[in-house]
Amino acid sequence: MVKTQIDTQYEAVIGLEVHAQLKTASKIFCGCSTKFGAGPNSQTCPICLGMPGVLPVLNRRVLEMAVKTGLALHCKISPYSRFARKNYFYPDLPKGYQISQYELPLCEQGYLETAVNGRIKRIGIHRAHMEEDAGKNLHEGLEAASHVDLNRAGVPLLEIVSEPDIRSIDEAVAYLKTLRDILVYLDVCDGNMEEGSLRCEPNLSLRPVGQKEFGTRVELKNINSFRFVQKAMEYELRRQEKVLREGGRIAQETRLWNTEKEITVVMRSKEEAHDYRYFPEPDLVPLMIPEDLIEEVRNGLPELPDAKRERFVREYEIPIYDAEVLTISKDLAHYFEACVAIYPQPKTVSNWIMTELLRELNNSGQEIADCPIPPERFAGLLKLIEDGTISGKIAKTVFEEMYRTGRSPEEIVKEKGLVQISDAGAIEVLIEDVLAAHPNERESYRQGKTQLLGFFVGQVMKRSQGKANPGKVNELLKKKLSA
């Protein structure tokens, strides 16, 4: 055994394999529906059931979505690519092979850029290829039997494989989030890890800092949420570090994440790895992708999150932080722009979205698409503050009410009598009351303790139940106190 190397520092090397389910209406090689949640095996046909004598036909939408994603990930789109058979025997795969791509994938040599702790990191995309999903084995609640649901067999996937460019868990999580944002923005995948439409298999290894060669990698499977991706990687790197520190060696293997115990356990070693006996799929013609199809897809690409972020900073002159928050989803960005179109004060709109609106959405577990406040009303509220009808503080209460009831700000303000008091006479009455109630403070003020002004303002605001115009209160108080 090697001597224990107590003070060696290790660096992580990580590469991610991501399977994204493409949002097509029908499967990749047949016309069956891809809808989630239908009765077992109700969405199958001889093709996806793998009956003898049938022929697959490529769904054109799958190709378009794959090209779209490849372009967004700065990949080269191969003018000539081919499907391959990946052979293995398992009940969820009735044909005995999965149609995938192997030596000639559709997309290669791309990259993605993501912000990690305020720095932009570029991570290479090794390849992205189309393939079909397998069915699902069901074991739970079935005595002495397993059942197979083949609704998912033949659902289109895009497998996106990163280069081993990732050096920390933070970078891996940032990569995955950015990749998901891009897929969702492109409208090619719904990005839902819990439902399995986005699956991630991290490959991880450690090497002593300063060493050029990579260490032996371990691949992790069975991770079905963002939180678990992070936890599984943390556990695995700690495990590997311990093995190395104790002078052991890392075995090249596939490990399963155990959600209950929050550990990884061996699934199969390198020796047990399948030999997939890949060979070109004889039932599908090779894909020749004409340049004009690629151009057509390129021209139809939507604005991606990073481009949108930059434009928001440039066009609306808001801080990069605001732009990042506002472009978290396409819908939120759209909401912001719709509000600014009506109420052209971007920073004010941004502040209100980032604090009040996001808080309400968060508390109610809703998405911006479910927001009960349309942009017109949101902008309407900000106008009420600007023209002095209500104070900013009251506006927050009105906002909560708008969110809860879906009513207009004008209606709520009127009904609850929340209109701001700007009338000098009315404010003076309040001031008189406050001064009469605090003769000692008033005396101290007269003796030069002018910092008490804030105290008096606070008292007047309180007495007005927040409705007095704070600017006016300030102005009139100063006058009164120095009289």
Residues that bind Mg ion (CB under 5 A): 219
State which residue, 94 or 164, has the beta carbon closest to Zn ion. Answer: 94
Q: Which helix (H) or strand (E) holds 148?
A: strand 147-149
Candidates 40, 94, 164, 196: give the one binding ligand ADP (CB under 6 A). Answer: 164
State which residue, 213 or 291, has the beta carbon closest to ligand ADP. Answer: 213
Please tell me the total number of residues recorded for the chain in this structure.
Answer: 483
Q: Indicate which of Mg ion, Zn ion, ligand ADP, none lies near residue 30 (CB less than 5 to 8 Å, by partner kind).
A: Zn ion
Residue 449 to residue 444: CA distance in whole angstroms: 6
Q: Indicate which of ligand ADP, Mg ion, Zn ion, none lies near residue 188 (CB less than 5 to 8 Å, by partner kind).
A: none
Query: Under the criterion CB under 6 A, does residue 241 sit at the interface with ligand ADP?
Result: no
State which residue, 220 or 476, has the beta carbon closest to Mg ion. Answer: 220
**Smallest distance, Å, CB 189 to ligand ADP?**
18
**Smallest distance, Å, CB 215 to ligand ADP?**
6
Q: Indicate which of Zn ion, Mg ion, ligand ADP, none lies near residue 163 (CB less than 5 to 8 Å, by partner kind).
A: ligand ADP
Q: Stretches 202-210, 312-320, 327-335, 402-410: which one binds ligand ADP (CB under 6 A)?
A: 202-210
Q: In Å, how far are 80, 317, 339 from 344, measured between CA atoms?
A: 49, 12, 8
Query: Under the criterion CB under 6 A, does residue 472 sit at the interface with ligand ADP?
Result: no
Collect all residues with Cβ–Cβ distance below 8 Å to 32 and sequence separation of at least 6.
26, 43, 44, 45, 47, 48, 154
State which residue, 253 or 322, has the beta carbon closest to ligand ADP. Answer: 253
Axis crossing angle, helix 470-481 with helix 453-463, rounded to the nearest 10: 130
What tokens were used for 367? Answer: 């998405």
3-state helix, strand, coil in the chain (%, to 5): 40, 20, 40
x/- letters, 121..160, toward ligand ADP (CB under 6 A): ----------------------------------------
What tokens were used for 2? Answer: 């090697």
What strand order describes the sheet that includes 97-100?
Answer: 97-100, 84-87, 279-280
Q: Indicate which of Mg ion, Zn ion, ligand ADP, none lies near residue 214 (CB less than 5 to 8 Å, by partner kind).
A: ligand ADP
**SS3 letters across 226-239:** HHHHHHHHHHHHHH
Residue 397 to residue 395: CA distance in whole angstroms: 5
Please give the residue ranges that form the binding site for Zn ion (CB under 5 A): 30, 32, 45, 47-48
What tokens were used for 20? Answer: 């994204």
Query: Under the criterion CB under 6 A, does residue 204 sit at the interface with ligand ADP?
Result: yes
Residues between 218 and 237 that touch ligand ADP (CB under 6 A): 219
State which residue, 31 or 247, has the beta carbon closest to Zn ion. Answer: 31
Residue 323 to residue 326: CA distance in whole angstroms: 5
Candidates 162, 197, 264, 391: give the one binding ligand ADP (CB under 6 A). Answer: 162
Residues between 17 and 46 that touch ligand ADP (CB under 6 A): 17
Query: Under the criterion CB under 6 A, does residue 214 sit at the interface with ligand ADP?
Result: yes
Q: Indicate which of Mg ion, ligand ADP, Zn ion, none lies near residue 162 (CB less than 5 to 8 Å, by partner kind).
A: ligand ADP
Q: Indicate which of ligand ADP, Zn ion, Mg ion, none lies near residue 14 (CB less than 5 to 8 Å, by partner kind).
A: ligand ADP
**Smallest distance, Å, CB 161 to Mg ion?**
8
**Smallest distance, Å, CB 218 to Zn ion?**
36
Identify any residues that bridge with 98 across adjacent strands, giving them in sequence order: 86
Task: For the beta carbon of residue 106, count every other beta carbon within 10 angstroms.
Answer: 25
Pairing of strands 218-221, 10-21: unpaired
Residue 259 to residue 221: CA distance in whole angstroms: 11
Q: Indicate which of Mg ion, Zn ion, ligand ADP, none lies near residue 32 (CB less than 5 to 8 Å, by partner kind).
A: Zn ion
Q: Single out the residue of 9, 8, 12 nearest to residue 234, CA to CA.
A: 12
Residue 327 to residue 324: CA distance in whole angstroms: 5
Query: Under the criterion CB under 6 A, does residue 106 sit at the interface with ligand ADP?
Result: no
State CA 151 to chain mean position distance.
27
Q: Single out the residue of 66, 85, 90, 87 nearest to residue 77, CA to CA.
A: 66
Tokens 């809703």, residue located: 366
**Smallest distance, Å, CB 401 to Mg ion?**
53
Query: Under the criterion CB under 6 A, does residue 267 sit at the interface with ligand ADP?
Result: no
Q: Which residue is nearest to ligand ADP (CB)?
A: 15
Site size with ligand ADP, rule: CB under 6 A: 15
Tokens 């989803």, residue located: 329
| 34 close to 189: Cβ distance less than 8 angstroms | no
**Smallest distance, Å, CB 83 to Zn ion?**
17
State which residue, 201 or 322, has the beta carbon closest to ligand ADP. Answer: 201
Query: Under the criterion CB under 6 A, does residue 11 sit at the interface with ligand ADP?
Result: no
| Contacts with ligand ADP, residue ranges (CB under 6 A) | 13-17, 161-164, 203-205, 214, 217, 219
